[in-house]
Structure 1
Amino acid sequence: MEKKEMQHKDIVAELARRLERGEADVEALADGFASLLKEHCGALETVAVPGFGKFEGEKLMERVEVDSASGRRMLYPPEIRMTFVPGTRLKTRIAEKGEAGDE
């Protein structure tokens, strides 16, 4: 089976269809959610969505690495990374969907 990758426009169109809302409304909701994640995860807070999972901001400290080709030492600045931890309900639903597709 070939893997399919949904792009942003595909997700917006599918959600608009399922929710019977306009694509502009869904786009505004998606932008608002992304802004909320940026704000809270950027402040190293957790955003929990019951039944779905949680988004967490994690700070990576600055580090020095050596370039293997040139031997030069390079200083990388600190950065904030966002991770997603799926909730139990989401994992269960995905597993059930996979089992249904195995038949």
Structure 2
Amino acid sequence: MNNKDFITELAQRTGYSADETQQFVNCVVEAMGDHFQDDDSVLIPTFGTFEVKKKMERIMVNPSTGQRMLVPPKLVLTFKPNVSWKERVKNGGAE
């Protein structure tokens, strides 16, 4: 499902126009991004949790050359789905 399909389906379900729905989705994503920049997690109770985690500095070995390199620390965005969603995906979408 691409963005256009998602917006179209969401607009049909909510009764808003596609333009209004696109603006709403953009606002939600922008607000989430603002929280991620502040290292805050975002919890959507019936869906899951988006969290910013820090990956520590580590040593990596290039398999082709055997050369060791230092990988600097970085922040990564992770998602932990709600238990019910995990089960739905695990069972092939059946509830």
Structure 2 distance, partners of 1:93, 1:68, is 38
- Residue 39 (structure 2) pairs with residue 56 (structure 1): no
Alignment match of 2:15 (pick from 14, 17, 20): 20
Give the AA of the match of 2:69. M
> What count of residue pairs does the alignment treat as equivalent?
93
What's the TM-score, normalizing by structure 2? 0.75
Q: Does the 8 Å CA contact 1:43/1:57 hold for their aligned counterparts?
A: no
Structure 2 distance, partners of 1:79, 1:44, is 12
Structure 2 distance, partners of 1:43, 1:36, is 11
Q: CA RMSD in A?
A: 2.4
What's the TM-score, normalizing by structure 1? 0.70
Report the CA distance shift for 1:34/1:77 in structure 2 as closer, same or farther (over 3 A): farther
Match in the other structure for 1:75: 70
What residue ranges of structure 1 are gaps of 5+ in the alignment? 1-5
Question: Aligned-pair distance for 1:79?
Answer: 2.1
What residue ranges of structure 2 are gaps of 5+ in the alignment? none
Question: 1:98 aligns to what SS in structure 2?
Answer: coil
